[in-house]
Structure 1
Amino acid sequence: MTPPPAKKRPTIDDVARVAGVSRGTVSRVLTGGHWVSPDASAAVTAAIAETGYRVNPHARSLATSKANSVAFLLTESYERLFDDPNFAILLRGASTALAQSDIPLVLLMAGNEAEQRRATEFITGGHVDGVLLVSSHQGRQDFLPEISRAGVPAISCGIPLGFERKIGYVAADDFSGAQEMVRYLRSIGRTRIGTVAGPQDTSGGLSRLRGYRDELGDDVVEDRIAYGDYGFASGERAMHELLERAPDIDAVFVGNDLMARGAIKAIESTGRRVPEDIAVGGFDDSPAALDGSPTITTMRQPFERISQEMVRLLLAAIAGEATAAMTIPTQLVRRESA
């Protein structure tokens, strides 16, 4: 039995014939609608629906000099991508926001020099129209000047240290959030408050430690400060350091929830109780805050809104608007750990 012939895919000429306009008018509608009357635009739109015509993305990119895709550039290792739930939330949020404009999202890793080189060549080679930069470590930003010189729009998640005036960003209010958490720990009667700070080559790590110091003022004790890299193991290790140097602490503000979960493990391994002996406050309100007992009191970063605003600012920059930046407030979420 002979199979029926394949149905011919509608062409731009079919759309023009149904709409009663020229092929050039259809092309102009497809590339932005410039110099097309409202009536003609409406006719073309109706003809596209009637014929089932779909834009060939490769042809459109050639016609508009646009790649019609955006890069999600993560300056972390693959292990951190899968260990830290925040990255998955940001990736999903950005992908969902871009899908509304029918724009694919391309994940690029830049956790080491070789990956940074490949990512830079890909981005500056015209394969994407813009970049969403996530987890920008100050020592892993050698690619940013090249991206900037190439004129590729970029928006950072968090303040891009050293590039604040060149690259737009969307950031949580890390400083005020840290202040509020420390203030809360003091309000529940804790007087010897330590901290496990995040990496000091990121804006979040710096700002949260600065907020801790600012809120405590003259009560800051350097032996009550330890450092981690935002990973679970580093939170556990840093908490053991604190307990050795300052065994009398009765609360700890931890730079993110994943490290806070590690800190709780360290505290409980010494026979101390959370929150009875040591109250623990985290930051992010990520899934790690709920993944275990006790649940973690934390500062909520609205990651879905952050990713949506990053996409909005990036699409505006791609359209030619001036680079912009915004800071979003955090919110205290009280749970069992404090």
Structure 2
Amino acid sequence: MTDPVYTAPRRRRQKNTVTIQDVATRAGVSIGTVSRVLNDRNWVKPETRARVMDAVASTGFVPNARARSLVTQRAQSVALVLGVEPTKLFEDPNYALILEEATDALADADYSLVLLTAATGPARERVSRYLRAGHVDGVLFISPAEPTIDPLVAFFQEGHLPVVVCGNPFSESVGLPMVYADDETGSRALGEHFRASGLRHPAVVAAYPHTSGPAERIGGFAAGYGDGPIHVQSAMEYSRAAGRAAAVELLQSGRTLDSIFATSDLLALGVIDALHAAGLAVPGDVAVAGFDDSSAATQAEPALTTVHQPVSSVARVMVEEILGAIEGDTARTRVLATDVVLRDSTRR
């Protein structure tokens, strides 16, 4: 006997019977007029637009995203291209916050975010092919440091897609619109604070010191401190481990130190780890400050003095600029204000 479970016909899914024609009939207009209203075109009379929207509400019509994309010639999505390994999303709170804020801001505009990672040559080739295929309408690019000559950056410069860069990861101008915090002003204020606090032997721990953003942080701090050149100790990357390694090397150099400015909070946490391991008190022996005012700053022991950069605002301004560029506007470079947040790591 045949098992009836496998021979019984499956129930077909009930389709949504409300179509754009139903909306047009209810509103007493053409399908084209409904389409123009749903795609927010401007050449529809206000009273007609209101009638169409009333018909949409009363029929329960839900526009088909694929059909809409065929009309608008848009994918209704934006790529966030991350120029580091995917694990950095879990290690660096700034990346996670930018992803969260950008996703929410795009959703408010009915856009989806597509996350792509491009930390290696092969990955960048795949990302370039994906972007060239028209899967997204624009790109948000985030990377801590970039070579001037790179196939992915070259693709962005060709202008095939609107692009907005987070920060300034380049050592020289590449002509792309950027949204970043005012690194120089915040760091200058921190240098002034070090000087006013009586700290006389500062050093800087910096990742990618020759790229624009870190260079402005170093230069701003030195200008604010204002007492000759300050030693800069390079770190391999923006990470706690890299900050610890750089601080160990700095301590082994035999330099006289009473304070360290690390150009990110994660680096500063690593610096504190190295100082504690060496039996030095923070801030009693060495004062430490960071840059970002990320969640890591309040989790540090002691709590970290830092330069606050408005990461949430950076993400939302990036989305504002990319959506404007998708609509045909020219994306602008935007610089957001920073300020110093004083906590226990520099209070002596």
Which band: TM-score by shorter chain? over 0.9
- Tell whether the 8 Å contact from 2:204 to 2:230 is kept in structure 1 after alignment: no
- Tell whether the 8 Å contact from 2:207 to 2:235 is kept in structure 1 after alignment: yes
Structure 2 partner of 1:26: 34
SS of the residue corresponding to residue 340 of structure 2 reads strand
Structure 2 partner of 1:182: 191
Measure how far apart 1:31 and its partner are. 2.2
Determine whether 1:111 maps to 2:119: yes
Structure of larger gyration radius:
2
- Tell whether the 8 Å contact from 1:137 to 1:201 is kept in structure 2 after alignment: no
> AA paired with 2:193?
Y
Moved runs in structure 1, 4+ residues, more than 4 A?
A: 2-5, 162-165
**Aligned equivalents of 2:209, 2:255: Cα separation in 1:** 24
> AA paired with 2:21?
D
Change (3 A) 1:112 1:189: same
Deviation string 1:193-228 (CA, Å, 9 cap, x unpaired) is 111012135432222122233334452243x53434
Structure 1 partner of 2:239: 231
**Aligned equivalents of 1:292, 1:40: Cα separation in 2:** 59
1:200 to 195, 199, 209: 209
Pick which of 237-246 and 169-178 moved more.
237-246
> AA paired with 2:66?
H
Structure 2 partner of 1:283: 291
1:259-278, aligned counterparts within 5 Å? 259-278=267-286
Where in structure 1 are there 5+ consecutive unaligned residues?
Answer: none
**Aligned equivalents of 1:297, 1:217: Cα separation in 2:** 20
SS of the residue corresponding to residue 191 of structure 1 reads coil
Deviation string 1:226-273 (CA, Å, 9 cap, x unpaired) is 434111111001111111224421010001001100000100111110
- Tell whether the 8 Å contact from 2:75 to 2:137 is kept in structure 1 after alignment: yes
Change (3 A) 1:246 1:221: farther
Deviation string 1:257-307 (CA, Å, 9 cap, x unpaired) is 011000001001111100011000000011111223111111111111111
Structure 2 partner of 1:132: 140
Structure 2 partner of 1:151: 160
> AA paired with 1:174?
D
Change (3 A) 1:24 1:162: farther
Structure 1 partner of 2:62: 54
SS of the residue corresponding to residue 133 of structure 1 reads strand
Pick which of 40-49 and 311-320 moved more.
40-49
2:249 to 241, 247, 255: 241
**Aligned equivalents of 1:192, 1:150: Cα separation in 2:** 47
Measure how far apart 1:333 and its partner are. 0.9
Deviation string 1:130-160 (CA, Å, 9 cap, x unpaired) is 0011125222842122233252001111125
Per the normalisation by structure 1, the TM-score is 0.93
2:223 to 214, 223, 236: 214
**Aligned equivalents of 2:268, 2:27: Cα separation in 1:** 61
Change (3 A) 1:160 1:210: same
Measure how far apart 1:3 and its partner are. 7.9
2:324 to 312, 316, 326: 316
Pick which of 226-235 and 106-115 moved more.
226-235
- Aligned CA RMSD, in angstroms, stands at 2.0
Change (3 A) 1:247 1:30: same
SS of the residue corresponding to residue 63 of structure 2 reads coil
Where in structure 2 are there 5+ consecutive unaligned residues?
Answer: 1-9
- Tell whether the 8 Å contact from 1:124 to 1:147 is kept in structure 2 after alignment: no
**Aligned equivalents of 1:248, 1:21: Cα separation in 2:** 80
**Aligned equivalents of 2:51, 2:24: Cα separation in 1:** 9
Pick which of 152-161 and 249-258 moved more.
152-161
Measure how far apart 1:42 and its partner are. 1.1
- Tell whether the 8 Å contact from 1:120 to 1:147 is kept in structure 2 after alignment: no
- Tell whether the 8 Å contact from 1:73 to 1:107 is kept in structure 2 after alignment: yes
**Aligned equivalents of 1:211, 1:75: Cα separation in 2:** 26
- Tell whether the 8 Å contact from 1:299 to 1:331 is kept in structure 2 after alignment: yes
Determine whether 1:303 maps to 2:311: yes
SS of the residue corresponding to residue 230 of structure 1 reads coil
> AA paired with 1:107?
L
Deviation string 1:93-140 (CA, Å, 9 cap, x unpaired) is 101111111110000000001111111111121100000111252228
Change (3 A) 1:4 1:78: closer
Structure 1 partner of 2:7: none
Equivalent pairs counted in the alignment come to: 336
Determine whether 1:86 maps to 2:94: yes
> AA paired with 1:155?
V
